[in-house]
Amino acid sequence: MTRYIQLAHEVIDIEIEALRRLRANVNNHFAAAIEFALICQGRVVVIGMGKSGIIGRKIAATLASTGTTSFFVHPAEAFHGDLGMIHADDAALMISNSGETEEVIRLLPFMQHQGNKIIAMTGGLNSTLARNADAVLDISVPREACNNNLAPTCSTTAALVMGDALAVVLSTLKNFQPEDFARFHPGGSLGRRLLTRVADVMHKDNLPICALDLPLREVVGIITRGKLGVALVMDQDRMIGIITDGDLRKAFEESENPLELCARDFMTEHPYTIAVDENLAEAERIMKELTKRVLVVVDDQARPVGVLQIFDVEE
């Protein structure tokens, strides 16, 4: 068992070293690739064969989901008709570890004739692909993590990470926001939290409201009936405090005559609030940052209109 773990550590160490080299290889060619993608009036077309194609599909998906319109074209299919998918105003990201992959190389004349900017992602800096590219992203690695130094491991990791670097830098420069991300991921939990507003899930019926001078015994009844674990303390139409189960316990523990207390004596002043039109992701961030299980939802005049519990924002 120890030998298995040792071998796994060796693989990971080799890949980490490959990524350290990759970091050192990021240069002005990377900056040029970013510029080509930014000024491109069309899409970023990602092309790769075999394992590079698998990585290419992931890079295209990451680009598309982070604000850079992109899609993957299989080079063999492209040579049999799919070249029509590639327009003159597109930029091409062509991936080949050797830089001599036949299916990729034979697309170069078409790209050049059409005037596409070509970004090569390759470990072969003197290869046919590199020599014919407008920018070359160096993904060369000292060796593969495979025990025979054959199976694409470090090289595919390097390509994947370089693709992530492209996507994230482009996303940052385009000021791509969480709301934009949510539009492309409406089916996921993140999309739900970003697109759903606090108003959509808050508890708004029969809010547990009590007056400043309400006796503790009656406060307990309001909290129990409200089933939210809180009571909102109001002074006319202005909320000035909140009473939670914790406040009740503290009152019983610290007061000699707790039943003689009224709401103003043991409430928590200045409760944490959130705007009614805020999204769930922001509510979740506030709750986790402040370790709060309840937020009071308020309108634009700071009047309470609902209560949000941690269970409402968590999946």
**pLDDT greater than 70 at residue 248:** yes
Closest CA to 9 of 114, 145, 136: 145
| Alpha-carbon span 118 to 73, nearest angstrom | 14
Mean pLDDT over the full length of the chain: 89
**pLDDT greater than 80 at residue 134:** yes
| Alpha-carbon span 314 to 173, nearest angstrom | 31
Q: pLDDT-based confidence at 246, cuts 50/70/90?
A: confident
Phi-psi region of 81 (alpha: psi -120 to 50; beta: other; left: phi over 0): left
**pLDDT greater than 60 at residue 124:** yes
Closest CA to 179 of 166, 195, 192, 163: 195
Question: Which residues are 117's β-sheet partners?
Answer: 91
| Alpha-carbon span 245 to 251, nearest angstrom | 10
Helices (H) and strands (E) in the chain, counts: 16, 12
**pLDDT greater than 80 at residue 313:** no
HSE toward the beta carbon, residue 303, CA cutoff 13 A: 5
pLDDT score of 288: 87
What 3-state DSSP class applies to 38?
helix
Per residue in 12-65, pLDDT tens? 999 999 999 999 999 999 999 999 999 999 999 999 999 999 999 999 999 988
Q: Identify the DSSP state of 267.
A: P
pLDDT score of 179: 64
Show the domains of the chain with their CATH numbers.
2-176 (3.40.50.10490), 198-313 (3.10.580.10)
Q: pLDDT-based confidence at 186, cuts 50/70/90?
A: low
Q: pLDDT-based confidence at 182, cuts 50/70/90?
A: low
pLDDT score of 283: 85
**pLDDT greater than 80 at residue 180:** no
Per residue in 67-82, pLDDT tens? 899 999 999 988 887 8
**pLDDT greater than 90 at residue 193:** no
pLDDT score of 189: 57
Q: Which amino acid, 247?
A: D
- State phi, psi for 78 to the nearest 5 degrees: -60, -40
Average pLDDT of the residues in 276-284: 85
Indicate the pTM of the whole model: 0.68
Q: pLDDT-based confidence at 191, cuts 50/70/90?
A: low
Q: pLDDT-based confidence at 281, cuts 50/70/90?
A: confident
Q: Is the CB of residue 241 less than 8 Å from the CB of residue 231?
A: no
Per residue in 83-103, pLDDT tens? 888 999 999 999 999 999 999
Q: Is the CB of residue 137 less than 8 Å from the CB of residue 29?
A: yes
pLDDT score of 61: 93
